[in-house]
Structure 1
Amino acid sequence: MLRSMFSAISGLRAHQTKMDVTGNNIANVNTVGFKSSNTVFQDTLSQVVRAGGQPAADRGGTNPAQIGLGVKLAGITTNWTNGAAQSTGRSTDFMIEGDGFFVVEGAGGQQLFTRAGSFDFDANGQLVTPDGSVLQGWVAGPDGTVNSNGPVESLRVPYGQIVNPTATTAGSMVGNLPSDVADGTAFQLGADMYDSQGVLQKVAYNVVKTGANTWDVSVVHADGTTLMAPTGIVFDATGELTTPAGPDHELAPFTPVGYPSWTNPVTMSLAGLSQFGGANTLAAPKPDGYPLGSLQSFSLGNDGTIMGVYSNGLRQPLGQLALAAFDNPSGLEKAGNSSFRVGVNSGLANIGLAGLGGRGELSSGALEMSNVDLSEEFTGLIVAQRGFQANSRVITASDELLQDLVNLKR
C-alpha cells in the first residue's frame, strides 16, 4: 500500500510538471518566435517480487514479477517547427523562413541566439532587440563589400550618413542603328554625368551615319563644347560591330577640357550596339557616378544583405545579417527574453550566411509568431488534469486501506 501511495505521489509531481509546461505554452501563445515545449514521462525503477526462471528439462521458464515504483520526467522537448508569418510592414522586423537563429550580443558581451526578429534602432543607429541586445552580422566596407569570413560585429544603419560624390568614368550606348537610313542621318541621346566634385554635367551622345556600315560617334556638353571629337565606328556585313575592337568595344577615353573640376577620363563602351534593318532602338544606360547624397532608407534581401538607399540614387550594401545553425538546437539553454545560449549538448554555433549551410532565408516586414497550437494545449490540459485526479484517487484509496487496517484492532 505504501508503494501505491509513493507511486501516486510521483504521478502527481509529473502531471504538475506537465501542467506547468502546458501553462507556459498557453501564456506564450502570442510571443514572437516562441517554440512550444512537450513533456515526456518514463517509468522509474521496478521492484522485483519474483525473479524469472529459464526453461529446464522438466519445466518451462517463468517470467519475472515486478512492481513499478512510479513515474518520472524523462525530458522536456522543444517543438522547432516554424510559426505562422505575421506581416507587420516594419522594415526592422525580420523573419527566418526555415532553420537558424539571429545572432545578438547581450549584456556583458554574451553571445545569444533568438528566433524573435522584432528589432528597432537605438541612439547609435544599432539594430537592437526589445531588451537591448544588439543584432550581429558583418559591416560593409566603404565600397559596399562584405567579408562574411570575418568575425561578426554589431550592425547599424547610420541614417543621414553622407556619401561622397563619385566622378563619372564610364558611359555606354546600346541598341540598334538602322542600316537602311541615308548617309547623314543623325541620332542624339542625352545623359547625366558628374565631375569629381559631384556637379551634374549634362551631355549628349551624337551618332551620324557617314557611309555604308560606318558611323561617327561624338560627345557634346550641354553648353555646346565638344567633349569627344567624332570617332568612326564600323559594322560588318552581318550588322556586328567590328571597330572599335575588343570585348567591350570601348572608344579611347576622353578627358573634358575647360571644366576644372572634371578631371576623370571617361570611357565610352559600345558593346551593346548593332546595325540591322528596322527601327532605331538606340539607348543610353545611366553612366556611373553620383552626386553628394545621404542615407534615407534601407531594405533587407533574402540573403540578409542590408541595402542602403541614398538620396542620390545610389544603392549600396551597409552590412549583412548573420544566422547561426546548430547540430542539436534542442540542446540550447533558454536565457530569457526569447533568447538561447549555447548548451553542452547543442554543439557549436555554425555562423554564416542565410540560405547556406542549413540556414533559412530571411524576409523583412514580417515576424514569426508562436507555434503554440491551442487545441493541442487544451487537450494537454485535460490529460494533465485527469492524470493528476487519477493519481490523487490512488492516494485516497490507499489511505482508506490503511484506515481499514488500523480499524482491525477495534
Structure 2
Amino acid sequence: MALIRAMNAAISGLRVQQTKIDAIGNNIANVNTTGYKSTSVDFGTLLSQIVGFGSAPTGTLGGVDPTQYGLGVQVSGTKQNFATGNFVATGVASDLAIDGDGFFIVTDGTGRELYTRDGTFGLNPGGLLIDPSTGFRVQGLMADLSTFTITPSSALTDITIPLGSLTIANATTKFGIDGNFNGGGPIASNGNVLQSSVPLFDIAGATPASLATLLTDLGRLETGGPLDFGLSTGDVLEFQAEKGGRSLGVRKFEISAGPPTAGIDDTGTTLRDLLDFIEGALGINTSLSSGTWGASIATGSIAALDTVTTTGAALTGDFVTAGVRPGDYIRFTSGPGAGQTAQIDTIAFAAGVTTLTFVSPLDGAVPLPLPGDTFEFNERSRVALGVAAATEDGTLSDAGPTPDLRVDEASPVGVMRISANAGLLNAIDNIVLSANGDRLLLFNESTAATGETATAHVTVFDSLGKPHDVVMTYMLEARRSPTTGDAVGTRLRWFAESADQIQSGTFGTTVGTGTIDLDATGKFVSENPGAAIDLSLDVQGVLTALAVDVDHAELTGLASTSSSIIVGTNDGFAEGTLNNYSVGADGVVTGIFSNGQTRSIAQVMLARFGNNQGLLQVGSNYYATGADSGLRTIVTPGTFSAGSVRGGFLEESNVDIAREFTDLIVAQRAFQANTRTISVANELLQDLVNLI
C-alpha cells in the first residue's frame, strides 16, 4: 500500500538522520581532542520500485520514461576529514604535531604498530619517548651515540633520549685564528737579554761554575768572595717570572736524581739541569731551524761590492769586533730576499771585509739579497752559561752546526745569560729564583726587546675533554717589497706555549712554532707548518701527544694602531651532559648538552597510507591498518608528500563547531520532517479506516 511505503521511507529517513546526529554529536564531543579528525555521514537511496520500465522512441513516438518510486534512504558510508588542524604552542619539547599528511608510529605491549595524529608524548624514567596515556612507545631511528649519525636504512626502534646520562667530549684537532695583526708595526728584530748580576760559583771546586757543577756545591761570586747557596739533595727551588707582562706562575725544581713527584715540575742535580728547567719554564723556543731570534748584535746594509750566495756572504765592515760569532744568525730584513735567514758556520775579517759561511744554504727558491738590502745579526734564543772557549770538556762549544745551547763563549765565565725570543710580548722580566725562602740570584737586562707582537689565548681540549690553555704569541718577522700583486709582503712568526705540558723526562712549555706569509694587501697567502702544535700530556690518562692544526686563513696583516687577534673556530670541547632536546621539522631529535654542543640523538619517522579513509579507528586517538588503507610506508618527515614535524606544538581537533551546529540544525529539521511524513501517512490511513 502506498501510504505504508511512505511511512517506511520516512522511517529510513529517521534512521539516517539519527546516524548523522550521532556523528555530529561525536564531533562536538571531540572538539578539544588533540589530533581528532571530524567525521561526516554520506547518504544514498534505498531500492526503488519500478512501476513501468518505459519504452524507446519509435518513428511516431518520442519514447516513454520509466515510472519509479523510491523506498527510502540509507547510510552509504562515513568519511573523515584529514585536513590539518590548527597548532597550539605548548613549549614542551616532547609535544609534536604533523603539518601535513602522515601519522606518528607507536607500538603497544605486544609489538603491534598503531598510528596517531596525537603527539602528546613524554619521556618515561628510562628516557623512552612514549604516549603517557597508554605507555605505547614512539618509533623512529636511533643515532649511533658514539658518532651521532643516523642511518636512514636502519629498522624502526624505540626512541630513547637519555637526559642526564649521556655525556660527550671531543679533543681539539684544529682551531682557527681570526683578526688583524698590525702589519705596519716595527719588525721584531730583538728579544730582550738578561744576565745574572754576579757569576755562579762552584764552592767545592773553588772555580767559576760549569754546566757540570753539582747544585749542592753551587753558590755565587760576590765582591767579597764566594757565597754558598747551601743547597742540599731534596731541596726545592722555586722559579717565577713574567713574560710580556703575563705571569708564568711558580714552577718547582727539586734537587734529585729521581723523576718528579706530585707538585714538582722537574728534577736534576747539576747546573745544566737547572738551566734546562729555567729555559723550559720561560717557554723559550730554541729551534735552530725556526728563525727564532734573540738580541740584535749588529746591523748593516749590502754595498754594491758585497756578495751574498746561498752558502755564504762577503760583507763590508768588521762584524767580528761587533760581536758576531759562529752559531749566530744573519737575517735579511728588506728587499726581495727579506726573511732569508742562515746560521753562521765560520766568520773571518780581513782587509775591511767580513767573510761568512753558512751552516745550511739559503732558500734558493726565494730571491737572494741584493745591494741596498739590510741585514742584522742575532744570537740564539736560549738560557746559557758563560764559559771560556773549549774549556768545558774540550769539545763543547756554542759554534758550528751542532752547538751546545748551554755554552756561551762570549759572556763572562759563570754568568747566566737568558736570551728571549724576539718581540715585546716575548720579553722576560721580574725573574725570581729562590730556595728555602732565599733569593739566589738577581738579573739585569742588557738588551731590550723590540718589535710588533700580539697574543691570543686558546683553550684546547684533550681526549677526556679537559681544557688546556695555549698562549699564541705572534711577531712581525720580516717585510718584503712585492714585485707582483700576490707576492709575499709580510711574514709573521708565532710561538705556542702551554703551562699544562707534561713530558716524561723533559720539562718545557713550548709546544710549537710556525710562519705565516701575507701578501702586499695584508691577505693570507700560506703558512708553515700546518699541523704545528704538539702538546704532550704524559701520565694524564689521555691520548697524547695532542696534535692540533692551526688555521690562519682568516688572519690579516693590515696596518693599524694595534693588533687584535682572537680564536675564531675550535673543534674541541669540554665534557657536557645531555640536559635538553628539541625536535626539528625533519623529525630529528637534537640533543642539547650542558657545554653548548648539539648532536643528533634520534629521528621520529612517519607512516603514510595510500587511503587514509581505509584506516580503522581503534580508540585512544589510534588508527590501525584496514583492508582498504593500503600498506603503510615509512617516510622521513617532509619527504614523499609527508608533512613536517613541529616540535613544541600540538595539533588541535579540526572540528568546525559552527559547521557542526549548522549541520545539527539541518539534521534536526530533516528528522522532524520525516516524523511529519509518518504523521500525515497515519492520518490518511485513519481516514481510510473511518470510511468503513
Fold shared, TM-score > 0.5 on shorter chain:
yes
Deviates more, 1:273-282 or 1:27-36: 273-282
Cα drift, residue 115 of structure 1 = 1.0
TM-score scaled by length of structure 2 = 0.56
SS at match of 2:573: coil
Q: Secondary structure at the match of 1:148?
A: coil
Among candidates 313, 317, 327, match of residue 600 of structure 2: 317
How far did residue 22 of structure 1 move?
Answer: 0.2
Alignment pair present for 1:175 and 2:458: no
How far apart, CA to CA, are the structure 1 residues paired with 2:172 and 2:181?
25
Structure 1 residue 153, shift from structure 2 partner: 0.8
**2:271 corresponds to 1:267:** no
- Tell whether the 8 Å contact from 2:498 to 2:511 is kept in structure 1 after alignment: no
CA 1:214–1:117 in structure 2 vs 1: closer, same or farther (change >3 Å)? same
Query: Which whole-Å CA distance do the structure 1 matches of 2:139 and 2:564 have between them?
Result: 47
* Aligned counterparts, 1:2-401, within 5 A: 2-129=4-131, 130-141=133-144, 142-183=146-187, 184-212=451-479, 213-222=490-499, 225-244=508-527, 251-257=530-536, 259-261=538-540, 263=544, 264-277=546-559, 280=563, 282-401=565-684
Write the deviation string for residues 163-219 of structure 1: whole angstroms up to 9, x where unpaired.
253322222213343433332311211121122333221112222111121001222
Deviation at 1:242, TM superposition (A): 2.8
CA deviation digits over 1:349-393, x for unaligned, max 9?
221211111112222222111111111111111111111111112
Bigger shift: residues 275-284 or 357-366: 275-284
One-letter code aligned to 2:105: V
Query: What is the one-letter code of the residue matched to 2:592?
Result: V
How far 1:71 moved relative to its partner? 0.8
Question: Aligned residues, how many?
Answer: 405
- Judging changes above 3 Å, is the alpha-carbon distance between structure 1 residues 342 and 277 closer, same or farther for their aligned structure 2 residues? farther
* Contact kept? 1:86, 1:366, Cα under 8 Å: yes
Secondary structure of 1:215's match?
A: strand
Q: Partners of 2:615 and 2:572 in 1: how far apart?
A: 49
How far is the alpha carbon of 1:4 from its aligned partner?
Answer: 1.0
CA separation of 1:394/1:228 partners in 2, compared to 1, >3 Å: closer, same or farther?
same
Distance across 1 between alignment mates of 2:111 and 2:494: 61
| Contact map agreement 1:207 1:216 (CA 8 A) in 2 | yes
Please give the alpha-carbon distance, in whole angstroms, between the structure 2 residues aligned to 1:182 and 1:345.
83
For structure 1, list consecutive stretches of 5 or more residues without a partner in the other structure. none
- In structure 1, what is the equivalent of residue 280 of structure 2? none
Contact persistence 1:227–1:254 (CA under 8 A) = no
User: Secondary structure at 1:292's aligned position in 2?
Assistant: strand
Report how far residue 253 of structure 1 moved. 4.2
Corresponding position of 1:404: 687
The Cα shift of 1:265 comes to 1.7
- Structure 2 CA distance for partners of 1:153 and 1:227, relative to 1, 3 Å: farther
Q: Deviations over 1:221-240 (max 9, x none)?
A: 14695443321121233444
Deviation of the 1:25 alpha carbon: 0.1
SS at match of 1:159: coil
Q: Tell me how far apart the structure 2 counterparts of residues 199 and 406 of structure 1 sit (CA, whole Å).
A: 104
Whichever residue aligns with residue 5 of structure 1, its letter is M
Q: What is the rounded CA distance, in whole Å, between the counterparts of 2:90 and 2:123 in structure 1?
A: 16
* Structure 1 CA distance for aligned equivalents of residues 175 and 473 of structure 2: 13
Asked whether the equivalents of residues 453 and 476 of structure 2 are also in contact (C-alpha less than 8 Å), the reply is yes
Q: Quick one: which amino acid aligns to residue 549 of structure 2?
A: T
Determine if contact 1:192/1:286 at 8 Å carries over to the other structure: no
Aligned to 1:92, the other structure's residue is in SS state coil
Instruction: Give 1:290 shift.
Output: 3.1
Deviating more after overlay: 226-235 vs 33-42 = 226-235
Contact map agreement 1:148 1:352 (CA 8 A) in 2: no
Q: Answer yes or no: is the 8 Å Cα contact 2:122–2:129 preserved in 1.
A: yes
CA distance in 1, matches of 2:41, 2:97: 28
**Which segment drifts farther, 228-237 or 3-12?**
228-237
Structure 1 CA distance for aligned equivalents of residues 30 and 689 of structure 2: 49
User: Which whole-Å deviations, capped at 9, do the CAs of 1:112-169 have from their partners, x for residues lacking one?
Assistant: 1111111111232111112221111111102110112221111121122142533222
Contact 2:23 2:41 in 1 (8 A): yes
The alpha carbon displacement at 1:280 in A equals 4.8
Contact persistence 1:191–1:286 (CA under 8 A):
no
Cα distance between partner residues in 2 of 1:283 and 1:81? 53
Q: 1:223 to 1:113 in 2, by over 3 A?
A: closer
Q: Quote how far apart the aligned CAs of 1:285 are.
A: 2.8
The answer to whether the Cα contact below 8 Å between 1:94 and 1:365 also exists between their aligned partners in 2 is yes
Aligned equivalents of 2:569, 2:523: Cα separation in 1: 23
Q: 1:277 Cα deviation (Å)?
A: 4.7
1:327 deviation in Å? 2.5
- Consecutive unaligned residues of structure 2, counting only runs of 5 or more, are 188-450, 480-489, 502-507
CA distance in structure 2 between the partners assigned to 1:178 and 1:344 by the alignment: 76
1:91, distance to aligned residue in structure 2 (A)? 1.5
Q: Give CA-to-partner distance per residue, 1:6-45, whole Å, 9 cap, x none.
A: 1111111110110110000000000011111111111122
Letter in 1 for 2:513: P
Shift in alpha-carbon separation, 1:370–1:162, aligned structure 2, 3 A:
closer
Q: Give 1:382's aligned amino acid.
A: I
Alpha-carbon offset, residue 59 of structure 1:
1.8
Cα distance in 2 for residues equivalent to 1:277 and 1:340: 70
Letter in structure 2 aligned against 1:37 = T
- Measured in 2, the distance between the counterparts of 1:222 and 1:44 equals 93
Note the aligned Cα RMSD (angstroms).
2.1
TM-score for the superposition, normalised by structure 1:
0.92
Question: For residues 203 and 7 of structure 1, do their structure 2 counterparts lie closer, same or farther at Cα, with a shift above 3 Å needed?
Answer: same
CA distance in 2, matches of 1:285, 1:270: 10
Separation in 2 of the partners of 1:227 and 1:36?
Answer: 73
Seen in structure 2, the aligned counterparts of structure 1 residues 229 and 257 have a Cα distance that, compared at 3 Å, is same
* Superposed structure 1 runs of 4+ greater than 6 Å apart: none
Aligned residue in 1 for 2:202: none
Q: Secondary structure at the match of 2:570?
A: coil
Distance 2:683 2:160 in 1: 69
Return the offset for 1:89: 1.6
